């Protein structure tokens, strides 16, 4: 079966670019999105330098969303820019497209530290996004516990489980993305409601990274499954 096309909004940043490299390495079509088309194209060129025959292109965010119609659109911008970004692409979302929330409501959004979070009235970044997109566009939560430095260390596997939450059929499509990233394992995280717990874990992991001086970041494993 053909792989879903993936658009990564804010794919010019560390986390989105890391995913772009990993998906391109696995032969998955990738559309990098940015507020500026030239930045998106430059990021796509950067990935193509490494994976010359990859199916890659860069677009302004709404165009990247259209270019992945029926596929998967990952929102990879800092939490405080989630609402503006999702509103800017809302009209470009077509039924059948799955939106992935990867954001964490870190307290850096209000000038506090990254090892804490702020409250989100919808319960989580994922549920906030769900409140913004059309009803026929499912939102799935994933990849919040994966560290950008680990994604970008292309010679190494990413030792991390990925808890994937949301409606069953689109959840399965997003779980399949983990097959592209050596070392990751998708864990069925049940309904989207559970995104709130997964997002909070990232703040805990950032605190652990700081205490153990692990700049590259820690990973998460659920054992005995």
Ligand X SMILES: NC(=O)c1ccc[n+]([C@@H]2O[C@H](COP(=O)([O-])OP(=O)(O)OC[C@H]3O[C@@H](n4cnc5c(N)ncnc54)[C@H](OP(=O)(O)O)[C@@H]3O)[C@@H](O)[C@H]2O)c1
State the residues that interact with ligand X by CB under 6 A: 10, 12-16, 34-36, 39, 76-79, 81, 84-85, 102-104, 144, 146-148, 202
Q: Are strands 6-9 and 72-75 parallel, antiparallel or unpaired?
A: parallel
Nearer CB in complex with ligand X: 36/50: 36
Q: Which residue is nearest to ligand X (CB)?
A: 13
CB of 171 vs ligand X, minimal distance in Å: 18
Nearer to ligand X, 110 or 136 (CB): 110
CB of 67 to ligand X, least distance (A): 16
* Minimum separation from the CB atom of position 81 to ligand X (A): 4
Task: Tell me whether residue 64 or residue 95 sits nearer to ligand X (CB atom).
Answer: 64
Nearer to ligand X, 65 or 85 (CB): 85
CB 1, min distance to ligand X, A: 28
Shortest spacing between CB 153 and ligand X, in angstroms: 12
Nearer to ligand X, 52 or 115 (CB): 115
């Amino acid at each position: 079966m053909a792989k879903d096309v993936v658009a990564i909004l804010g794919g010019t940043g560390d986390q989105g670019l890391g995913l772009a490299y990993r998906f391109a390495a696995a032969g998955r079509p990738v559309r990098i999105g940015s507020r500026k088309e030239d930045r998106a194209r430059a990021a796509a060129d950067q990935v193509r330098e490494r994976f010359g025959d990859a199916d890659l292109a860069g677009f302004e965010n709404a165009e990247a969303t259209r270019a992945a119609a029926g596929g998967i659109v990952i929102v990879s911008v800092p939490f405080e820019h989630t609402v503006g970004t999702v509103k800017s692409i809302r009209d470009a979302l077509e039924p059948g497209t799955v939106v992935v929330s990867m954001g964490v409501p870190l307290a850096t959004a209000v000038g506090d530290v990254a090892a804490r979070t702020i409250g989100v009235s919808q319960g989580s970044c994922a549920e906030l996004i769900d409140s913004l997109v059309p009803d026929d566009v499912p939102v799935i939560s994933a990849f919040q516990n994966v560290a950008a430095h680990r994604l970008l260390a292309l010679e190494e596997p990413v030792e991390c489980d990925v808890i994937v939450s949301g409606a069953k059929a689109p959840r399965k499509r997003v779980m399949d993305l983990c097959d592209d990233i050596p070392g990751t394992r998708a864990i069925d995280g049940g309904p989207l409601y559970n995104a709130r717990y997964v997002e909070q874990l990232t703040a805990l992991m950032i605190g652990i990274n700081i205490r153990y001086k692990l700049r590259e970041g820690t990973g998460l494993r659920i054992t005995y499954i």
